[in-house]
């Protein structure tokens, strides 16, 4: 699969990971959510490694590394949230705090993945190197 396609697929995977929240999916929600999260982790790390080996702008390499780091954090926070929710359902502060961190990380990954995909696509198409000619102004 070409890299640009994998980068955009990462965006879609991040989107579906956000949309397919376990409590809305019944008994299959948690396993599907975990699988999507693991897929997201694998894809973001693979994307970061691939972009690090290419002569792309350093900004894309940095953002992809941060996205992979957030994916690792997301996995840890998500597993902690699931464990706390399962073992200590009445714990007043910890579960909501972990849930909030989990949601913020998910939205950050979605935005960072879309930024990398768009940036790489523009770099590959050399869109940033085109010089726009200013319109001719009529002098009276």
> ∠ CA(9), CA(10), CA(15), 5° rounding?
95
Helices (H), the chain: 3-19, 29-52, 58-87, 94-124
At residue 124, φ and ψ (nearest 5 deg) are -65, -35
Average pLDDT over the chain reads 88
- Helix axes of 3-19 and 29-52: crossing angle, nearest 10 degrees: 150
Sketch the domain layout of the chain as residue ranges.
3-126
For residue range 53-92, list pLDDT tens digits in order.
Answer: 999 999 999 999 999 999 999 999 999 998 998 899 888 8
Question: What pTM does this model have?
Answer: 0.81
For residue range 119-129, list pLDDT tens digits in order.
Answer: 999 998 887 66
**Sign (positive/negative) of CA torsion 73, 76, 81, 84?**
negative
């Amino acid at each position: 699969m070409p890299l640009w396609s994998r980068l955009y697929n990462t965006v879609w995977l991040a989107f579906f990971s956000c949309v397919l929240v376990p409590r809305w999916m019944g008994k299959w929600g948690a396993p599907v959510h975990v699988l999507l999260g693991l897929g997201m982790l694998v894809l973001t790390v693979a994307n970061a490694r691939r972009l690090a080996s290419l002569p792309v702008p350093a900004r894309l390499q940095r953002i992809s590394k941060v996205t992979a780091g957030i994916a690792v954090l997301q996995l840890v926070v998500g597993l902690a949230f699931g464990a706390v929710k399962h073992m200590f359902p009445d714990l007043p502060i910890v579960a909501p705090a972990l849930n909030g961190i989990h949601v913020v990380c998910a939205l950050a990954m979605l935005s960072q993945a879309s930024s990398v995909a768009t940036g790489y696509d523009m770099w590959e198409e050399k869109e940033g190197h085109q010089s726009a000619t200013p319109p001719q102004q009529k002098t009276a």
